[in-house]
Amino acid sequence: MMEVLGRIMCLAGAFFFLAGTVGLLRFPDSLSRLHALTKADNLGLGLVAVGLMLTSDSVLAAAKVGLIWIVAMISGSTICFLLGRSMLAGMRRRK
């Protein structure tokens, strides 16, 4: 049961990664590309992490995956903010 649920979660995460990648390639400007990318980062990675936690052998392994997710989410959102800010500053300078 857990196994099946975990795989479904991983597949759902993979779908968000795919959607994020398509967005990254197709969206017109940097800010909306960043928007697409962060969806993949947060939701995609989160779902994959939950999936892996459900299928992992031990609580310790699950906790490690959870920790990786938290650190990746914190650094990912901060970096997204910094990127967005520097893009905005660049756009203002060009005006």
Partner 1 sequence: MSMGLALDVLLIAALLLTSWRLLEASDLFQAIVLFISFGLFLSLVWLRLQAPDIALAEAAVGAGLAGVLLLGTFKGLEPDFRKKQEESKPCRLDRPGACPTRVHYLAALLGVLGLAGILTLAVLDLPRSANGLTELAVRAFEPGGIDHLVTAVLLDFRLYDTWLELAVLVLALLGVLGAGGRHSVRGLEPPWDPDPVLVWLVRLLIPVVFSAAVYLLLLGGHAPGGAFQAGVILASGLTLLWLAGYRSVTVLPRGLWYGLVICGFGSIEVLAIFASVHPETPVLGYPPGFSNPVILALESLATLSIGVVLATLTIETLGGRERTPHYSGKGDRP
Q: Which residues in this chain contact partner 1 in the complex, by CB under 8 A?
A: 71, 74-75, 78, 81-82, 85
Closer residue to partner 1 (CB): 4 or 81: 81
Burial class for 17, CB neighbours closer than 10 Å (0-12, 13-18, 19+): middle
Closest separation between CB of residue 2 and partner 1, Å? 20
Degrees, nearest 5: CA angle 14-41-64: 85
* 61 or 71: CB nearest partner 1: 71
CB of 72 to partner 1, least distance (A): 12
CB closer to partner 1 out of 26 and 85:
85
